[in-house]
Amino acid sequence: MYISRRDLLKSLSMTAAAGSVLRIVPLEAADKAHRMVSAEKAAAPSGVYTPKFFSAHQYKTLRALCQAIIPSDHESGGALEAGAPEFLDLLTSESRDFQLRLGGGIMWLDSTCTERYGQTYLQCTLGQQKEILDLIAFRKSVDKYPRLGPGIEFFSTLRKFTADGFFTSEIGIKYLGYIGNTYLKEFPGCPAIPEA
């Protein structure tokens, strides 16, 4: 069955608005979105994805946030290597709800950083960036700082979508060790957990 780009993105964005993309949308649809991004990057003379919705500044901020949420480490590439920012931009370009939630969230973050630190999120020091993300990472922060409510909702949404973009990518699937529907002659059981 052929899925058009528009149908795919509409499907992804409608179900993602209800929660995590991985809960409802078939992996094949998310895989198709990642393949669309890869094809665009391969066709571009520079080999770089061109954002469909976010301004250059917002896209740099989105990339920095995705990197902070799932950084690369010695085991795997992170959200940037998995193409999570491109995945999110593609979804956002087709969904008014995402445009308000993610685009508005980045505007909120820059505004709040300007109010607190005198500069946008990207211009802040690493310590200031960590401080604001630590504040909006926990729902309990709203008790002490009620004005953080919109930022907490934004960051919660962004974390879910970044995880979806990561774990539906080739890198994320490899990280999980998913081998698909394959026949096993025997089941070796769960691997031993190393003692701390």
Give exposure, 48-80, as e/b (b: 16+ Cβ within 10 Å): ebebebbeeebbbbbbebbbbbbeeeeebbbbb
Residue 130 confidence (pLDDT): 95
pTM of the model: 0.78
Closest CA to 159 of 142, 187, 181, 138: 138
Residue 156 confidence (pLDDT): 92
Residue 104 confidence (pLDDT): 95
Closest CA to 124 of 64, 84, 56, 67: 64
pLDDT in tens, the chain (196 residues): 344 555 555 555 445 444 444 543 456 667 777 888 888 888 888 888 999 999 999 999 999 999 999 999 888 889 999 999 999 998 888 778 888 999 999 999 999 999 999 999 999 999 999 999 999 999 888 888 889 999 999 999 999 889 888 888 888 878 877 666 666 677 777 778 887 6
DSSP 100: I
